[in-house]
Amino acid sequence: MAATPLERSRNDQDSPEPEPNEGFDSDADYRYKSLESGQIRLVNLFQHRETAPELLSGCESLWCALENVEALNAAYTAISYEWGSQDKPFSILVMDRDKNRLGGIRITATLKNVLLDLMQSPVEPKVFWIDQLCIDQSDPQDKSIQIPEMGTIYRDASQVLTYLGPAEAGDPEGLELMDQICRHYEPMLISLAGSKRITPSVVANLWDLFERSPEKKLRVEPEKPAWTNLCRMLLTGWLKRRWMVQENMLNKNTFFLRGPRILKLANGGLIVQCIIHGSLPRPTEERLSSVITRYGFTIGGIESGRDMNFNMFDLLFWFCQTECHDPRDRIFALLGAASDATGLNIIVDYSRTENEILINLATRMVEYHRNLDILKVPLTAERDLPSWVPYWDEHDLIYTSEIRNASRLNAAGEFNIRCAFENEGKILTLKGLRLGTLEASLGYSGSSSLRVNYVHLLRGEAIEEVRQQVKVLNQIQERWGNSKDYEYALACTLVSASPLSQYNEVDSKEAPREGVLRAFRNCLKLLKHSLESTASQSSEQFSYSAAASSPTSMTDNEKQMAVKFIRDIFIHNRAFWTINGRHLCLAPAAARAGDLATVLLGGPLLYELRPTKDEGKYLFIGTAYVHGFMQGEAVQSPNWEQELETFRLV
């Protein structure tokens, strides 16, 4: 194998300014000095004096010095970038202050580009923290010491630069378009927000603004090269890679680096959010469009995380779609950003398997927080894990219809969590109450929630999905008849995550039940009318006004309440079941006849469990809503504690 330029033999021992690779043997790897407590390594980047900037095409033009420094007083720029391929075909020479050659460090092709662009950038001093250089990647012990400190390293940096890749020919027109978009939208967003802090929810509200005033929407032509070039620049690894989450979230002085040019991260984040919420067009290239579909949620998490103290549960939920090369880093990469990392006490240990790490994390979450929040996470594909241990691999809507009047639960007796772990943490033992058994399935609501699809319907999309979900509601009504009690149960189940009193008119003295029933009936009427209005239209002919119109018999106030009801419907991958012949249950899609609906002490939800062939052992299936038990009815009896059972989740 031919030696790289950095690996050629030394020719001139007496040269005052060392040539790039003099005396640098390919076998002479740099030996890291051990860190003392409170220290980090920093890399000082240098360019050989005789190398003209226009000739900077490879690492042979660069060298660096590594220093162990006290982290508390260190000033440096932290670099966030996508490793890309794990191959390391390049090397960079390390020298000491006297320019003695100390060896080389192998680096990836991406890092080579990062270093070359940093050298030409206006960043001064050229003192950086870069993981490939500042952590001994060949030493598991060094990694286990430094990885838990990465959150602090990025948080305490003078600034963070997120690398978007080398400059390309189309960058100038793409950047000009980005400036134009930001100048157009920023005043609107500041007005909507009431401050200069533009959150994801504020960007989402642009859609409503454009529906009222379409002339305010900036027309961006997706076929134009400028838009494609801008999307190619922004839709890169920082949205995909899990390690880059904490690196972009923890330091408010964070910027993009594109080639040697520094850009505002806030501007790029605004562009991505506007694409997600429909204020800007999706890129026409399928590869770029798929980045928005799969990773678009990342930007909302990063922006929200800057203002909130995300705990580990929050981070795993927001960023479960992001990726890393080592599956164990799905946990380790977020520890530095987790507000509860110290309490959880998760040790970065690469000698443990992924499953061991996940089980340990789940047990520590239950023990430290003293709650059952991990049971809110939907089940994913079957894995060799206990049923109650999340794998955290899919961003799904968490169904969290809590038992109302939770204070009643505590007033009724000792309702705090009662748990124990068996078999090295693989079995979670809980106390709880059995509510009933799932008997008959009444219909299934698909993978998209009705409230999302109704908005899509008004944009001319997903009409068939809305039609199928309305069909399910009709089937349930036909199965249960026209009884007001059953109709009310169905209405409450549909909007189980929202307060029912909001459906009554202001100053109305009628019972909440009547307002809910009226809003539900008008909801069905409006949905059916919208479907009929759009049935004969192609996507090209779609008329928002036709879909958004209401039956002539419906008043404006009734339509307003109907739309509110639709937006409050929170059904996602759920099936309707009967329990004990009279209770309506909204259960996970995976539920089947014979599953149990339960109350588990320490959790404010209702839970579906499946008996196994081993008595007393159950599989966790998911959370549920059971009409008739959401007001704490199960614990209103003075003797409810005598009815407690032990459920061992395996």
The DSSP code sequence of 532-557 is HHHTT--TTT--HHHHH---TTS-HH
Q: Do 21 and 86 share a domain, yes or no? A: yes
- Residue that finishes a domain, picked among 555, 570, 585: 570
Query: DSSP letter at 414?
Result: -
50 lies in some domain: yes
Question: Is there a domain that residue 387 lies in?
Answer: no
Confidence of residue 617 (pLDDT cuts 50, 70, 90): very high
* Weakest-pLDDT range from 35-44, 301-310, 385-394, 438-447: 438-447
CA 159/CA 161 separation, integer angstroms: 7
State whether 179 and 160 are in the same domain. no
% of the chain beyond a pLDDT of 90: 49
Give the separation between CA 648 and CA 650, rounded to whole angstroms: 6
Residues 560 and 587 in one domain: no
Mean pLDDT over all residues of the chain?
83
Q: Are residues 460 and 437 in the same domain?
A: no
Residue 541 — very low, low, confident or very high, per pLDDT cuts 50/70/90?
A: very low
Residues 223/54, Cβ–Cβ less than 8 Å: no
- Cis upstream peptide for 378 (omega within 30°): no
In terms of domains, do 35 and 146 share one? yes
Average pLDDT over residues 287-301: 91
Helical segments of 308-425, H only: 312-318, 329-332, 341-344, 354-369, 406-412
Q: Are residues 54 and 100 in the same domain?
A: yes
Mean pLDDT for 29-54 is 83
Listed residues 523, 542, 570: the one ending a domain:
570
- CA–CA distance, 115 with 102 (Å, rounded to integer): 19
Query: Where residue 454 falls among pLDDT bands split at 50, 70, 90?
Result: low
For 528, the enclosing helix (H) or strand (E) is: helix 512-534
Whether residue 150 sits in one domain with residue 24: yes
- Tell me how many domains the chain contains: 4
Helix (H) and strand (E) counts in the chain? 23, 17
Does 364 map to a domain? no
Three-class secondary structure of residue 313 per DSSP: helix
Task: Please tell me whether residue 320 adopts helix, strand or coil conformation.
Answer: coil
Same domain, 426 and 463: no
C-alpha radius of gyration, the chain, whole number: 29
CA distance 90 to 400: 50
Q: Is the pLDDT of residue 14 over 50?
A: no
Q: Is there a domain that residue 114 lies in?
A: yes
In terms of average pLDDT, the best of 172-181, 236-245, 502-511 is 172-181
The Cα–Cα gap between 512 and 525 comes to 20
Report the alpha-carbon distance of residue 577 to residue 418 in Å, rounded. 29
Residues 110 and 181 in one domain: no
Token pair for 6 = 């950095």
Q: Is residue 363 part of a domain?
A: no
Task: Please check whether residue 320 lies inside any domain of the structure.
Answer: no
Q: Is the pLDDT of residue 24 over 60?
A: no
> In this structure, are 158 and 201 located in the same domain?
no
| Integer CA distances (angstroms), 182 to 178, 187, 307, 376, 459, in order | 6, 9, 22, 38, 25
Phi and psi at residue 468, to the nearest 5°: -65, -35
In the chain the first and final C-alpha atoms are separated, in Å, by 53
Residue 15 has pLDDT above 70, yes or no: no
Same domain assignment for residues 122 and 202: no
Overall average pLDDT of the 628-635 stretch: 83
Check whether 451 has a pLDDT greater than 70: no
Q: Which residue has the higher pLDDT, 468 or 42?
A: 42
Q: Is the pLDDT of residue 275 over 50?
A: yes
The pair phi, psi for residue 84, each rounded to 5°, is: 70, -140
227 found inside a domain: yes
Mean pLDDT lowest among 251-260, 295-304, 481-490, 538-547: 538-547
Domain that holds residue 636: 399-446+572-650
Do 180 and 161 reside in the same domain of the chain? Answer: no
| Domain presence at residue 327 | no
Q: Is the predicted pLDDT of residue 564 greater than 60, yes or no?
A: yes
Could you read off the pLDDT of 77-105 as tens digits, one per residue?
A: 999 999 988 899 999 999 988 889 999 99
Does an H or E element contain 479, and which? Answer: helix 463-480
Q: Which of 112, 138, 165 is the last residue of a domain?
A: 165
- Smallest CA-to-CA distance from 442 within 397, 485, 493 is with 493
**Contact (Cβ atoms closer than 8 angstroms) between residue 339 and residue 309:** yes
Q: Which residues are CB-neighbours of 189 under 8 A, at least 6 positions away?
A: 198, 202, 203, 206, 270
